[in-house]
Amino acid sequence: REMPKSGPDVFLHVIAYPCATARRVLPKLKKHCTKEEIYFCAEEMATVLQNEIPIERLRREQYLVTFVPRRPQNVRVYGYDHARLLAKRIADLLGLPCLSLLSHKGGTQEQKLLSAAKRRQNAFASFELRSKAVKEIHDRKLIIVDDVITTGSSMFACTKHLRNAGATFVISLTFAKTISANRYATALQYLPAQQIAQRRHLSMPDYDAENLNSPKQKNKTDV
Q: What local confidence, expressed as pLDDT, does residue 107 receive?
A: 61
What is the pLDDT averaged over residues 55-76? Answer: 96
Is residue 3 a part of any domain in this protein?
Answer: no
Is residue 219 a part of any domain in this protein?
Answer: no
What is the pLDDT averaged over residues 112-127? Answer: 78
Provide the CATH number for the domain around residue 78: 3.40.50.2020
Is residue 206 a part of any domain in this protein?
Answer: yes
Percent of the chain with pLDDT over 90: 60
Q: Measuring CA to CA, which residue among 180, 123, 184, 172 is closest to residue 148?
A: 172
**What is the spatial distance between Cα 101 and Cα 137, in angstroms, rounded to a whole number?**
8
- pLDDT (tens digit, 9 = 90+) per residue, 40-57? 999 999 999 999 999 999
- Beta-carbon contacts of 5 under 8 Å, excluding residues fewer than 6 positions away, are none
Q: Is the pLDDT score of 8 beyond 50?
A: yes
Q: Measuring CA to CA, which residue among 84, 88, 78, 76 is closest to residue 103?
A: 84
What is the pLDDT averaged over residues 121-149? Answer: 92
Could you tell me the residue range of the domain that residue 160 belongs to? 10-109+124-211
Tell which wins on pLDDT, 84 or 209: 84
Dihedral sign, CA of 92, 98, 102, 105?
A: positive
Is residue 92 a part of any domain in this protein?
Answer: yes
Eight-state DSSP code of residue 112: G
Q: Is the pLDDT score of 7 beyond 60?
A: yes
Is residue 4 a part of any domain in this protein?
Answer: no
Is residue 176 a part of any domain in this protein?
Answer: yes
**What is the spatial distance between Cα 113 and Cα 201, in angstroms, rounded to a whole number?**
31
Is residue 1 a part of any domain in this protein?
Answer: no
Is residue 116 a part of any domain in this protein?
Answer: no
Q: Is the pLDDT score of 143 beyond 90?
A: yes
Between 20-31 and 35-52, two packed helices, what is the crossing angle to 10 degrees? 120
Entry pTM = 0.78
| pLDDT band (50, 70, 90) for residue 111 | low
- pLDDT (tens digit, 9 = 90+) per residue, 187-222? 554 444 444 344 444 444 433 333 333 333 434 333
What is the count of structural domains for the chain? 1
C-alpha pair distances (Å), 32 with each of 27, 77, 176:
8, 10, 18
